[in-house]
Amino acid sequence: MEEITVKNLQYNFMTTKNIKPSGWLLKQLKIQAKGLCGNLDKVWPDIKDSAWIGGDREGWERVPYWLDGFVPLAYLLEDDDMIRRARLYIDAIIKRQNGDGWICPCGREERANYDTWATLLILKVLTVYADCSGDERIPEVVEKCLRQFDVHINFNTLRTWGAARWFEGIIPIFWLYERTHDEWLITLAKKLRVQGFDWKGLFETGFIDEFAADKRYDLFSHIVNVAMMLKSEALTSLISGGNPDEFAETALKYLFEKHGTAAEHFNGDENLSGTSPIHGTELCGVVETMYSYEWLFAIGGNPKWLDRLERIAFNSLPAAISPDMWSHQYDQMANQVASFPMSKQPFHSNNNVAHTFGLEPNFGCCTANFGQGFPKLALSAFMRSDDVLASCVLVPSAAETGINGVSVKCELKTGYPFRDNLTYRVTTEKPVKFTLSVRIPSFADSAEVDGKAVDVGQFAEIRRTWQGTETVNVRLSFKTRITERPGDMVCVWRGPLLYSVAVGEKWEKVEYWQNGVDRKFPYCDYYIYPTSKWNYALADDKFEVRENPFESGFGNAEPPIEMTAEMCEIDWDFNNGHCDEQPRSRKPLGEAERVRLIPYGCSNLRLTEFPYLKQNPKPHEKI
């Protein structure tokens, strides 16, 4: 019999009991709670009347997706009403668990054809709920479900979405194993690996190129599956050993080269769709890539995953959601100069309104799933490793934990990523020696901790005996950089923020009845029309940065930070409801003018990739 060996995480996630958001992040979470994520159980039949709670609507992934974000959001905000509503759903799901452990809403005769992706997903949600609430019922519920699932897949092997996302099951398996150390759980994890799709083989053989080039809907180049699978080998390494980072790096090298976006994500308007700035990237893919990066860091401990996490969280995530968070896009475009139905859409698989803002444009998975993005980002702010308290994602927040039997609180006050200062305030109930480990982003040009220069791209470790209340001040320095893009185009970065030409907007409210929902304000759809010029080329590399007052990060009429640049108007066509992939001509139509650039994540309409009239810009170093 093979010896069972389970590897520990390099860094342990903390829960809503330990992490308290503050500043702009707290404001952002409150906006989310007042928007779609906080109200889907009131307005959307697929949640309100789901088969998961005894109704007749969707009984597969949508309720678990929604709870995956709603539960941590409720507990992070300490919102009693949201906590009560979350428990109503969890209670209903537990009540309907079959005596043999089967938990999904289908009859016994339907089990053989039921896609057990929903089983893996609801198990993961139950562990999130247990960590937030402390509900002592959950370990038994999870164990019963996993035991039944173990038997079920002996005769009903993983199929379709469950086979593509098999590794998600390792998360609840690992969670339960940490509590029970039952060896059958590790055997089950290995069984999932045997039955599940071989993502590593897909990339090693080059077949990923064939599926992506086919431009038809499939599971193998599906952007959400690809986003999830980035953590597959890292999760497997917990039970089988091996390098947790190697496969993810191999996959990302391919994805960035063949399908990369200006925002350092990858395009997929359903399936991987190349590097064009007018192809889309699905919102589900954004939040699942974030979740993969969070796990990759926790397992392997390399801060590069947190750099990548912040790049997506501060750019691609907020860009796809309206400022009030009552509507969202299915697909976002880097060059998105309008957002109304297209007469001929450039997407591979999605429809001509997938880029509009609404309740469920194109398909409803993102409606249910986008809510996990900001709450799980907040829960990645601080992590623990032995007697190390690590500041991982540099968002305003506080962590409260016990170190060597002493109560410790660490508050981070910052306007980052819109500002370059971070102030840590550490309070201990009595003297205790530990390490405060502060991540210094690789995209900073230089950094200082309490006035002393430190290296970028790694953690600055401050180890000492802490007593009473002490402060640590961090200063980051960012330069504005011009990044090369395919098609002889460029984009502009400053630190963790990508910048876009600010395009004036006219929002049109669209109210109608569809799929049992009276789509009325505030959960109606919107079309957005441009009211200003957007057809520009960058004229030089002289940028002027201006900081503005702010409370929330991305829901502002005036962004927290902006810049101006010398740009020239050029001949660039608008056809079929979107701008052309390339301008007709790069010859300036007039003198250069100062043009306003705002953070990509603060934009709804935008031009992000454009020509550069100077030759040979320096390439931006990829993280």
Do the beta carbons of residue 503 and residue 526 sit within 8 Å?
no
What digits encode the pLDDT tens for the residues 416-462? 999 999 999 999 999 999 999 999 999 999 999 999 999 999 999 99
Report the C-alpha gap between 517 and 511 in whole angstroms: 10
Report the C-alpha gap between 403 and 388 in whole angstroms: 8
The low-confidence residues of the chain, meaning pLDDT below 70, are 1-5, 555-556, 615-623
Q: Give first-to-last CA distance, the chain, whole Å.
A: 43
Report the C-alpha gap between 434 and 449 in whole angstroms: 17
What does R_g of the chain's alpha carbons equal in angstroms? 24
pLDDT at res. 285? 98
Phi/psi for 274 (5° steps) reads 85, -170
- Hey, what long-range contacts does 421-425 have (CB within 8 A, 24 or more apart)? 421/473, 421/474, 421/475, 421/476, 422/394, 422/473, 422/474, 422/475, 422/476, 423/471, 423/472, 423/473, 423/474, 424/391, 424/471, 424/472, 424/473, 424/474, 425/469, 425/470, 425/471
Question: DSSP letters along 435-471, please?
Answer: EEEEEE-TT-SEEEETTEEE-SSEEEEEEEEE-SEEE
Do the beta carbons of residue 317 and residue 289 sit within 8 Å?
no
Residue 222: CB atoms within 10 A of its CB come to 23
Q: Which whole-number Å values give the CA distances from 367 to 79, 592, 604, in the listed order?
A: 21, 42, 18
pLDDT at res. 269? 94
pLDDT at res. 447? 98
Which residue type sits at 215?
Answer: K
The angle at the Cα of 487, spanning 246 to 496, to the nearest 5 degrees, equals 50
Residue 323, classified by CB atoms within 10 Å of its CB into exposed (0-12), middle (13-18) or buried (19+), is middle
Pairing relation of β-strands 432-440 and 388-391?
parallel
* pTM over 0.85, yes/no: yes
What digits encode the pLDDT tens for the residues 42-69? 999 999 999 999 999 999 999 999 999 9
Candidates 382, 368, 365; CA nearest to 68 is 368
Do the beta carbons of residue 483 and residue 477 sit within 8 Å?
no
501 sits in which H/E element: strand 497-502
The contacts of residue 1 (CB under 8 Å, 6+ apart) are none
pLDDT at res. 619? 43
